[in-house]
Chains A and B, each alone.
Chain A
Amino acid sequence: MAQRRTSTATAKDAATATPAAAPTKATSVKKTAEAVTAVRTSSRRAAARAVSSDAGGGANGVIPAVPVLKTYKLYIGGKFPRSESGRTYPVRGPKGEFLANAAQASRKDARDAVVAARKAFGGWAAATAYNRGQVIYRIAEMLQGRRAQFVELLVTAEGYPAKTAAAAVDASIDRLVHYAGWTDKIAQVFGSSNPVAGPFFSFSTPEPTGVVAAFAPQDDSLLGLVSVIAPIITSGNAAVVVTSETRPLPAVTLAEVLATSDLPGGIVNILTGSAAELGTHLATHADINALDLTGVDGELRTALARDAAGTVKRVYTPHRTPDFTRQPGTARLRAFLETKTVWHPTGAVSLAGGSGY
């Protein structure tokens, strides 16, 4: 704990000072600049070299060690499997340069993810709100610890200017902190004690809807993704998330953050691939309770909303393109809640009045 705090203290301080602009430390700027240069050369090796030197690799004329590159896989049930289909697709940077091969999730992968989500849902929904809050805060902690890595990734993979990338990562951390504090407020804000006209104790309490299939924004690959996932899991739902098709890498790296933050395996499952291919299977899947269609639009959005009707899924569709840089309201939280009302008779304290139940 202490060690982690030390290692991230500077970045944290910078973020705290001016969260919006979030000026990065000199080394970060240098690193990202280097990475940008690497991208401009359109060479995977150059990009890798930049990353490796960021990680403390040799300068000073010493030939750097050959960096170990990551295989980007899916995240299902807390594990990182390849697609059962064996398919991958190339992910390219803003200039069209090759970045990595991403797993192209299949229908079977989607179904596996639903099974994992359903299996995990019960325990997560039953966990105390305090516990869920701590776990989500832990995700923020883990993301903070990898801040520099995500800034670089957004620069290389998305072509963000360094400042924008840093702001997006910081906002993602803040978003998680925001929702971590919601877990134990939801029932108090959206629940009620009902003053019914009769001798009954009646209360209404919000509960998680169940398994939510979410389509993450296509362009806002980290902040948008976090802004979609966080409200779903905050109230105790499990998520099957289809990432941005063309920008899937931050999502897979975020899975590493999730995997190390005490979030039970299966609560967030991440599928890289095509929303158009996976969408219908998820929208018609009888063990999914709700859809978040943020990341799809046009005909596909309508088609998936139509598919959802077959099993009366709750469908969340933003009215217009969401601005994730702004403080979220409660619409996303409420979209995946069910209100449960419980009644019980209230007897008289003494049976002398003739009232029992």
Chain B
Amino acid sequence: MADSTRALARRGATQGSSVTPGSVTPWEYAPAPESALIGRIKPRYRMFVGGRFVDGRGGDQATINPATESELAQVSWASADDVDDAVRAARRAYDTVWSKMSGLDRGKYLFRIARGIAERARELAVVETLDNGKPIKESRDADIPTAAAHFFYHAGWADKLEHAGFGPHPKALGVAGQVIPWNFPLLMAAWKIAPALAAGNTVVIKPAESTPLSILVLAEIMQDAGLPDGVVNIVTGAGDIGSYLVNHPGIDKVAFTGSTAVGKKIQQSLAGTGKKVTLELGGKAANIVFDDAPIDQAVEGIVNGIFFNQGHVCCAGSRLLVQESVEDEVISKLRDRIATLRLGDPMDKNTDIGAINSAEQLSKITELSAAGDAEGAHRWTSPCPVPDKGFFFPPTVFTDVSQSMRIAREEIFGPVLSVLTFRTPDEALAKANNTPYGLSAGIWTEKGSRILGMAGALRAGVVWANTFNRFDPTAAFGGYKESGFGREGGPSGLAAYLDTDSDTADEGAA
């Protein structure tokens, strides 16, 4: 988008010069805002339990538009009693309907949901952007279509589970308790709900406190699809409700996407309960650029890797490892490219970088960036204008970063790139793997053998070579080490929602 904008400006300048030689006046930037009305935002949203929208007993809370800091809607929050109700509804639905239904019919509901998302895609994109702050072009082109694709893909698994590779009679686990983050609200809901239902489980899911709206629109879609009551239940609230849900004795499986710190707490509290747990946690991905890389493509990949979704991506390429011999060229081109990124109104179709999701997250990014200054890294900030209102953080690149600095070790979860250098592939590998995380990595080189060699040696669950941040329901996603365990997508993602040990007497919770 920024490219075409720039091209327009150039064209404008050329035309201008042909009219009045000597004076170059680029066209004024003309915003192309999406209409907020498409989102049909309601003044108040309710939780979804037992197939009905109900008032929660946790009181009403406002959800705000992070780009304007103004209230978007009131949301009725759950109390612990509501979670009890939701778990009961999910259990009843499992016992009486869902576990008795054929896989083919379960699949039909998932197909309907996929279609429903596609039909209301633009509305969902607007809701997502207003509630989350991400650019409309990303919610429209990435989040929503991929969410629909997840339902469509898993729909087809529902009657083919015996072919998934986990024995001839894979069984559902029962009721799944799921907690999802705010960075991809609808997409994460799809990643959690679709495989759970395809495998034959019922669901109680809690969206993030700051982004509850899109999943409640999804609830309307599920209701319209005729999904049996209680198969999916949505409880709204903050961390205390999430904690109550994952520790609820009435659930059989826990799936969590979020921070490593919270993931560790969940794993700890569930120790010894026998519940199957999958965790998708933080990351600090290395994006490795070798001197034989296609530099221009690499620069695009670096930008996509760290600035996609304001850097609120667990698999973001937040550590750039660049070979010393091309460091100057890469950094110079990178800064030029970043300077063209348009930061601002997420509803503007030209916006590349939207709003930081919350004041809390903004202060975390600010604090970690300050640590980068304090520890001696060199900060470069895009000269782009920053809106007065709303939570925004301009694209930032730290150079002269060393391994020991916090900005090289901790997940910033914002549009902040830390640049480290290396001389040899071995050094790149050692630095890339020198982290407790292991979610993703990037490799940029024209040499095929180097790609495959590095891809094999990197301890990360997803490796993008000459590309970055690609997601697909058919491709497993998930981390090594402290980035969590279990996978989402592909056949291995189904394992998270199946009793995969029933094929053996020597069994355990894998």
Interface on A for B, CB 8 Å cutoff?
126, 189-190, 192, 194-198, 200, 202, 204, 209-210, 227, 286, 289, 294, 301-303, 305-306, 308-312, 314-320, 322-324, 326-332, 334-335, 338-345, 357
Distance in angstroms between the alpha carbons of A334 and B463 in the assembled complex: 21
A-B contact pairs, 24 of them (CB 8 A): A194-B490, A196-B472, A202-B472, A227-B506, A306-B268, A308-B271, A310-B268, A311-B436, A326-B504, A329-B504, A329-B506, A330-B504, A331-B501, A331-B503, A332-B510, A334-B500, A340-B461, A340-B463, A341-B462, A342-B462, A343-B462, A344-B465, A345-B466, A357-B466
Contact A332 B480 (CB under 8 A): no
Q: What string of 1s and 0s marks CB contacts (under 8 Å) between B263-304 and chain A?
A: 111011001101000010100000000000010010000000
A-B contact sample (14 more), CB < 8 A, given A204-B490, A306-B271, A340-B462: A196-B474, A197-B472, A204-B475, A303-B271, A309-B268, A329-B504, A331-B506, A332-B510, A335-B508, A339-B487, A341-B463, A342-B462, A343-B465, A343-B470
B255 adjacent to chain A (CB < 8 Å): no
Q: In the complex, which of the residues A200, A329, A332 has the most CB atoms of chain B within 10 Å of its own CB atom?
A: A329
- Assess the B506–A190 pair: CB atoms within 8 A: no
Choose among A305, A306, A323, A357 the residue that contacts B297 (Cβ–Cβ < 8 A): A357
Contact check, B505 vs A326: say whether CB atoms are below 8 A apart.
yes
Which residues of chain B in 485-510 are interfacial with respect to chain A, using CB atoms and an 8 Å cutoff? 485, 487, 490-492, 495, 500-501, 503-510
User: Contact check: which of A192, A198, A294, A329 meets B470 at CB < 8 Å?
Assistant: A198
| Complex interface: chain A residues within 8 A of B480 (CB) | 209, 338, 340
Please tell me if the beta carbons of B508 and A312 are within 8 angstroms of each other in the complex: no
User: In the assembled complex, how far is the CB of residue A312 from the closest CB belonging to chain B, in whole angstroms?
Assistant: 4
A343 partner, pick from B166, B274, B475, B507, beta carbons under 8 A:
B475
Q: Which residues of A contact B483 (CB under 8 A)?
A: 312
With a CB–CB cut-off of 8 A, which chain B residues contact A286? 436
Closest residue of chain A to B267 (Cβ to Cβ) is A309
- Top-9 shortest CB links A-B: A329-B504, A302-B272, A305-B271, A309-B267, A318-B508, A309-B268, A196-B472, A306-B271, A194-B475
Whether A192 lies near B491 (C-beta < 8 A) is yes
Determine which of B166, B470, B495, B510 lies in contact with A200 in the assembled complex, contact meaning CB atoms within 8 Å. Answer: B470
Is B476 an interface position by the 8 A CB rule? yes
For the complex formed, measure the closest distance between the CB of A281 and the CB atoms of chain B, giving whole angstroms.
Answer: 17
Quick one: given A302-B272, A312-B482, are A342 and B463 in contact (CB under 8 Å)? yes
Which A residues are CB-close (under 8 A) to B487?
A: 339
A306-B272, A309-B267, A309-B268 given; A342·B455 CB < 8 A:
yes
Contacts of B508 in A (CB 8 A): 294, 316-319, 322, 331-332, 335
Min CB gap A41→B, angstroms: 37
Known contacts A194-B474, A311-B436, A341-B463; A316 and B504 CB within 8 A of each other: no
A299 to B271, CA, bound (A): 10
- Please give, as numbers and ranges, the residues of chain A lying within 8 Å of B297 by CB-CB distance: 357
In the complex the two chains form, is B260's CB within 8 Å of A338's CB?
no
Closest chain A CB from B475 CB (angstroms):
4
Q: Determine whether B149 belongs to the interface, using a CB cutoff of 8 Å to chain A.
A: yes
Q: Does B484 reach chain A (CB closer than 8 Å)?
A: yes
Instruction: Flag whether B167 is at the interface (Cβ < 8 A).
Output: yes
A125–B249 CA distance with the chains assembled, in angstroms: 39
A275, chain B: closest CB distance, angstroms: 16
When distances are taken between beta carbons in the complex, the residues of chain A under 8 Å from B510 are: 316, 331-332, 334-335
Q: Kindly state the separation between the CA atoms of A342 and B267 in the bound complex, as whole angstroms.
A: 28
Q: Once the chains are docked, how many angstroms separate the CA of A326 from the CA of B501? A: 14
- Interface membership of B477, Cβ < 8 A: yes
A207 to B490, CA, bound (A): 16
Indicate if the CB atoms of A339 and B492 lie closer than 8 Å: yes
